[in-house]
Amino acid sequence: MGSNWTLADIPSQAGRRILITGANSGIGYQAAFTLARKGAHVILACRDRGKGETALRRLDREAPGTATELAILDLASLASVREFAARQLEHGQIDILINNAGVMAPPKRRETADGFELQFGTNVLGHFTLTGLLLPALRQAESEAGGAPRIVTIASIAHKRGQMDFDDPQSRRSYSPMGAYQQSKLANLMLALEMDRRLRSAGSKILSVAAHPGVAHTNLFQAGERSTVEVWARKVLGYGIGALLNTEAEGAIPTLYAATAGEAKGGGYYGPQGFQEMCGEEIGPAKISAQAEDAVAAARLWGICEELTGVAYL
């Protein structure tokens, strides 16, 4: 069942610090824009300084007088994640962490600075590490008066076609651009649900909530690391099936619901309720694949992430 919840239902976020990865464009930017207008201090965690500064200037134009800042974070480098987290912990609590940034289907297998397959290393291991290192700041917010802190993980309807290859999670033997992406989004959702189980077991008030944007007509869909022909084709496709795609602003609604709605629960997964969960402003529970709900597999994946990153928590 969907919800009649709208952006107008977002309560004031005054006094809250919200960190969003990949906030310089797409649904990350739209979430930053809305939350800043609701009074939050929003940290745009971006890999590219130039694009991040462009986003800040855009926010100054579109939402003047709001409190936003840029912080440089490269999720494809564990050293960068560690340095970033150390700096953030110096500034106190984080009320909401939105793990939004992602890499989608580069045509050739690439690796992160640490030798991980780029999508698994960025989308999964980078955010796993960041969340663990920032947990003290979320716990600090937990001790303050106000709403429960939240960790929001952005998954995808693509997770339903994903398969976790525990024998070769880095796609070394065989690399499929979309297969690796689908696996990374499946892993994101598995870890979000496992995090909720671990938080509840620890008696924490922090909520782990997942969301997906449907199919949003963002630059991730349009461009990415693709040939000129494919970029052109995707733009044409986007215009041709525009009725089946969310705009960037519409695509951000599930993220904002997961981050702020009182109806959003720890362990919940939310998305648009339109055709095939691809579009629509009505938000409700999203469909979860059987593998994503497999607690034994999720615990195994969690252990792999701890081993690969050297970061253990919960």
> Is 4 domain-assigned?
no
**29, 175, 181, 257: the active-site residue:** 181
What average pLDDT does this structure show over 108-114? 98
> Is 114 domain-assigned?
yes
> Is 312 domain-assigned?
no
> Is 2 domain-assigned?
no
Confidence of residue 229 (pLDDT cuts 50, 70, 90): very low
pLDDT above 70 (res 10): yes
> Is 125 domain-assigned?
yes
Whole-number Cα distances in Å, 118 to 102, 127, 214, 237, 255? 10, 13, 23, 26, 24
pLDDT above 90 (res 220): no
Confidence of residue 244 (pLDDT cuts 50, 70, 90): low
Active site (annotated) includes residue 239: no
Confidence of residue 222 (pLDDT cuts 50, 70, 90): very low
Q: What is the pLDDT of residues 29-54, one digit of tens each?
A: 999 999 999 999 999 999 999 999 99
> Is 295 domain-assigned?
yes
CATH number of the domain to which 122 belongs: 3.40.50.720
> Is 66 domain-assigned?
yes
Which residues constitute the domain of residue 99?
9-306
> Is 241 domain-assigned?
yes
Q: What are the DSSP calls for 29-89, one per residue?
A: HHHHHHHHHTT-EEEEEES-HHHHHHHHHHHHHHSTT-EEEEEE--TT-HHHHHHHHHHHH
Task: Find, among 255, 245, 242, the residue nearest to 102 by Cα.
Answer: 255
Q: What is the pLDDT of residues 192-217, one digit of tens each?
A: 999 999 999 999 999 999 999 998 76
Q: Domains in the chain: how many in total?
A: 1
